[in-house]
Amino acid sequence: MPAMSRPLISRRAEPLTGRAKVPGDKSISHRALMFGALAVGESRIEGLLEGDDVLRTAQAMRALGAEVEKLEDGSWRLWGRGVGGLMEPADLLDLGNSGTGARLMMGLVATHPFTTFFTGDASLRSRPMKRVSEPLSRMGAKFVTREGGRLPAAVVGTTNPVPITYELPVASAQVKSAILLAGLNTPGETTVIEREATRDHTELMLRHFGANVTTTIREDGARVVTVTGFPELTGRTVIVPADPSSAAFPLVAALVVPGSTVTLVGIGMNPLRTGLFQTLREMGADIRTDNPRIEGGEEVADLVVTSSALRGVDVPAERAPSMIDEYPILAVAASFAAGTTRMFGLSELRVKESDRFTATMNGLRACGVEVEAEGDTLIVHGKGAPPPGGATIAVNLDHRIAMSFLVMGMAAAQPVAVDDAEAVDTSFPGFVELMNGLGSAIEGN
């Protein structure tokens, strides 16, 4: 039986004020669970995102033989199996809505000598997996997938893994990570070359657990990332920073709701994740960085955001990997700005939890915003005033589309509704409570 839908409506907000801590980083949370399961001995995770995507990964790591439990103090404890020590799961792994969970785990099991069956929800079952099955096949794994390389899929792990050097055809941290994780249980050196830098949480955290991972810059600027096989990973503590991709929603809300000042604490500031903050500042956003510090090997800071008059800018394609999940909410910000915002190089947006390129364009148009698409460029014509709003947006199992348009409703002339906000829990459980605590007016519709 499909879950009941959760329609919500967002009306004009009071000025947003206060301090808030958004949930833990989704990318880091998935990796902490996976690497803890591969390490010898006990690992602890503090600040884990307890969203549906990550809980599915926790469940999958249990199915692969690791001990994973939540402790009374809210932290998580893992007892890992050592590199190469994962066990054949007795049943399908259902990764729900999570591309990160599915793709990284395919890498993990590709070089273990057993067969794993993967599935997910309707969104995940529609997403391309060839981008991982292709390089992992070169390492020796076999894949049986549905038409177009889609889930459900069986991964027949290899007993004789071959190290590869692979140049990424798309800028994707998930693909990079899948190959590096397969490389852990492979003799010799496995190398991924990326022309555009993508988030490097896998590299940073593998080093934290004791693996030998090197990153060098080639003459042409490409990054060459190499992992040495059969490392002795040992249990560690991981402190998960607050997710900058989740912070994006209250942050843009505070910018567009007049009279707001909001402090967002402990936000991850990994430079490969902060493209949105840079872009918004170029648009004239007042975002102050307070207390920059290193926590658990990652840069974090508090962000103090004050509502600002925004202006349109050009966002270069090179910046896309550092803000790939933030375009829907940036497009919402751009529709309040004076002048045109052009976002280049958005082809990857079409293969996220939904086709976010089309969803963003259609949603903004339904809210009375003038939008154009030219190939992979999305062009938003802002009027420097609140857009009309007054629409109901189809979410199509996409958490970021739901949250983006709920933010739109906080400052648009008319309320904005979403047909089903259930997906929000994949990355941001407690979103409505947190936002309403700051002054928004989101309620059941």
Q: Binding site membership: which residues?
A: 26-27, 31, 99, 127, 172, 174, 325, 352, 356, 400
Q: How far is the CB of 178 from ligand S3P (least distance, A)?
A: 9
Name the region of 372 (left: φ>0; alpha: ψ -120 to 50; beta: rest).
beta
What's the Rg (C-alpha) of the chain?
21
Q: Does residue 197 interact with ligand S3P by CB under 6 A?
A: no
Q: Does residue 322 interact with ligand S3P by CB under 6 A?
A: no
Choose which of 29, 97, 111, 174 interacts with ligand S3P (CB under 6 A). Answer: 174
- Output the CA angle 84-202-43, nearest 5 degrees: 60
Residues 6+ apart with CB under 8 A from 22: 242, 243, 246, 247, 249, 250, 264, 267, 428, 434
Residues 6+ apart with CB under 8 A from 426: 51, 52, 53, 96, 97, 98, 353, 399
Q: Does residue 270 interact with ligand S3P by CB under 6 A?
A: no
Footprint (CB under 6 A) of ligand S3P, residues 20-59: 27
- The stretch near ligand S3P (CB under 6 A) out of 14-22, 76-84, 147-155, 167-175 is 167-175
Amino acid at site 420: D
- The stretch near ligand S3P (CB under 6 A) out of 113-121, 172-180, 231-239, 272-280 is 172-180
Q: How far is the CB of 173 from ligand S3P (least distance, A)?
A: 3
Residues contacting ligand S3P: total by CB under 6 A: 10
DSSP 8-class letter at 25: P
Among 137, 218, 216, 147, residue whose Cα is nearest residue 178:
137
H or E segment at 254?
helix 244-256
Q: How far is the CB of 122 from ligand S3P (least distance, A)?
A: 18
Choose which of 197, 233, 324, 406 interacts with ligand S3P (CB under 6 A). Answer: 324
Measured from the CB atom, the residue of 116 and 172 that comes closer to ligand S3P is 172
Q: Which of 52, 302, 325, 398 is catalytic?
A: 325
Choose which of 325, 326, 422, 425 interacts with ligand S3P (CB under 6 A). Answer: 325
Show the site string, 340-379: x = touches ligand S3P by CB under 6 A, - = not.
Answer: --------x-------------------------------
Q: How far is the CB of 264 from ligand S3P (least distance, A)?
A: 19
Measured from the CB atom, the residue of 260 and 360 that comes closer to ligand S3P is 360
- Calpha distance 80→112 (Å, rounded): 15
Buried b (16+ CB within 10 A) or exposed e, 317-334: eebbbbbbbbbbbbbbbb
Residues 6+ apart with CB under 8 A from 389: 367, 368, 408, 409, 412, 413, 414, 415, 416
- Calpha distance 16→312 (Å, rounded): 23
Residue 325 a catalytic site member? yes
- Calpha distance 445→440 (Å, rounded): 15
Show the site string, 77-116: x = touches ligand S3P by CB under 6 A, - = not.
Answer: -----------------------x----------------
Measured from the CB atom, the residue of 236 and 273 that comes closer to ligand S3P is 273
Whether the CB-CB separation of 48 and 89 falls below 8 Å is answered with no
Residues of this chain that interact with ligand S3P (CB under 6 A) are: 27, 100, 172-174, 177, 199, 324-325, 348
Active site residues: 325
